[in-house]
Structure 1
Amino acid sequence: MRYALHIQNAHFFNQRCFSVLLLTLVCLSSSGCSLGVMVGKMFFGDPLVTCEFTSRTKVDLAEDKKQVLVICSTPESIRSDYPSLNYDLLEQITYRLRRHDVEVMDTGDVATWLDDNGGVWNDVDELAENFEADYIIHVDIDDFDYREPNSPNLLRGKAFGNVSAYEVVEVDGLRRALEVFSSEYTSEYPTHLPVSIESESPKVFRKKYLDRIADQIGRFFYNYHTGEDF
């Protein structure tokens, strides 16, 4: 009897603590106090942000176990200066999607197919026909550089392009890719002042900037917590 009473009292105490905590959070939030946000994070963690792709299509690539193909493309003017850019971005974006439980096709298979086709492709339906993917993500980078114009000793990353996603469906017995998502992509890092090559080598800065681009593009397609840094 004494043990049951102890359990009942403990349960009542926990309920009161939880109620007081909720009331405190409501009061702090309604007053616009940043302390409320801090307390909320302490107990519940950073809130989860629904990615733009899921918000528009209502499809969660990770939860729905969709097989995804990632492809990157750049114009000849960029490939001549940065011949490995397509493959570097492909690997980094694929890595981040997999880290967030998105099933992505092997980058080696994609790279082999690209090599067999001269490194370029003209029609997304070609990809739908040649790969067993549910969705195709196309990252098209129109402009890329990590050197400050007219300043050989300064580094600043800039990129511009478009990110699209296609759902692969069967039409009259043929696999076709239908566009379901498209978003313009613009990046500049750092935004305020460029980095001197005396403080960071161009090679290290380029790797860091590519990682940042991959993170930004990946967030179009997987949910993330607000506290996650690029």
Structure 2
Amino acid sequence: MKRGKRYAEAAKTVDRSVLYDAPAAISLVKQNASAKFDETIEAHIRTGCDGRHADQQIRGAVVLPHGTGKTVRILVFAKGPKADEAQAAGADYVGAEELIPKIQNEGWLDFDVVVATPDMMGVVGRLGRVLGPKGLMPNPKAGTVTMDVTKAINDIKAGKVEYRLDKTNIIHVPVGKASFAEEQLADNFQTLVDAIIKARPSTVKGAYLKSVTLASTMGPGVKLNVAKLMS
């Protein structure tokens, strides 16, 4: 993959033979986020889990203390009083069956998170082929299938992020923007790491966190000292 001149210059500042502690890594990633837009800073966590086994799946959500820096558009599937509650709580879109053709046939996907009340999951299930691959299916573990739509919406707006294994057993989660203060990024990152350590499946043998890398949207990755994170 061909990289630009800016990336090559930034990559020179990262010593590939060093495992950085979190404050140094965050400082370096922020320094290298020099694009013309406010880059997102992401954590990439390679685990020792085998996601092919149901008892080694990791999926959950955590509210980052300083949010993600991103405005999140929320779609809520609900009816009656729960639909009214979702509107009042600040959901961007609220609906039921009538949204199915709009999403399925017209390809409407102007939302970042989907919340549903349990009674609507039969309806939402029909959208599995569209929402599933995009990671948009509501899930009880992530708190997005719930009767408490107000809490779900408030948490998401406050900076709730979902974490889950991808097919290669890596977790990718945003921890903020390059414009955040280093202390804010450190708080967010530590909150995420603590949640993932707590979510360790009991069946995982050997090293649980194999490697942790922080990177901005356009910048090079910086590897962290996992032993220090776990202590």
Q: TM-score, normalised by structure 2?
A: 0.28
Work out which structure has the larger RCO, using CA pairs closer than 8 Å and 6 or more positions apart in sequence: 2
Bigger helix share: 1
Bigger strand share: 1
Q: Rg: which structure is higher?
A: 1
